[in-house]
Amino acid sequence: MTLRALITIIIIMSCAIVSCSKNADGGGSITPPAAFKPNYGDSVFFLRQQAIDYIVTTAQATVSGVYSGFPEGIEIDSKTGAINVSKSEMGLRYKISFVADGSKDTSSTVVLLSGINFLDGFYKLTTADSILKPIYNGVAGNAVPGINNGSVFDEGSGCNSAGCNVNIASGSINLAQTVRNAVFGSTPANNDRHEFDLNYRINDKSGKALNTLKVKLYYFKSMNDVTQEAYDIIASRQGTIFREATGEISASARTMNANKAAKPRPPCIFIVAQ
């Protein structure tokens, strides 16, 4: 075979390979779209009093891809990114991630669904932990708006009537009084647990829309009696409470695998008697 014939064969084979690679997907190679970051026009959303669900959509044209929210609790359309605020858990920051079709890159933003929450943890009755204060808008120390000026907690007395002592003006839970109210019986047993619905209205931009937070209380006599299940619950929730609007998480949670499922609700309060 001559050198010219060999070169010709090589050129033909190269063209065939390129042609196959372009047509393997039935219409040319996929070109990933330009960088796209979800944008909802705002970063804080309040529950609304309306007959239909309150839906928040992205402020820019929709790009084909997949949306997801972290942690669990936010109702988001995986195709459009639309957030159903009415059906989401309030009082938490959520990281909204987006992966465009034809791309492996992830872009994200953080939104806050306004409301109250309580931090999971161990609360000893022999310390100041006996009074559990609500966290407003995901930041400890935030003042709850409308205290003694329109905000109401435990509307309908779903907590107080069952023994869970909630301050109807501030939303604080008196854990010591709750135990004295025999929520866990006259002789509390280790690992006993009860769940309550805390209905509340806050005099903020929500217009005092009715909101509900489920709260779960556990009882243990001492830290030596705490079960592995309790520690596992605390560990599984690390990284689910965002500290900053940028999406930064607490320092103790930075090593958490953000790809795993995270269920921050209901807040789990572990009462330790001594």
Question: What confidence score (pLDDT) does residue 21 get?
Answer: 40
pLDDT of residue 81 exceeding 90, the answer is yes
> Residue 104: pLDDT above 70?
yes
Q: For residue 2, count other CB atoms closer than 10 A to its CB.
A: 7
Mean per-residue pLDDT, 37-64:
90
- Residue 23, helix vs strand vs coil: helix
At residue 145, the pLDDT reads 97
pLDDT band at 29 (very low <50, low <70, confident <90, very high): very low
| 113, 94 contact by CB (below 8 A) | yes
| pLDDT confidence of residue 127 | 86
Sign of the dihedral defined by the CA atoms of residues 47, 51, 54, 59, in that order: negative
Residue 219 confidence (pLDDT): 98
**pLDDT score for 35:** 63
Predicted confidence (pLDDT) at residue 76 exceeds the cutoff of 90? yes
- pTM confidence score: 0.79
SS3 assignment, position 3:
helix
233: three-class secondary structure by DSSP: helix
pLDDT, averaged across the chain:
84
Least confidently predicted of 89-93, 125-129, 150-154: 125-129
Alpha carbons 175 and 217: distance in angstroms, whole number: 9
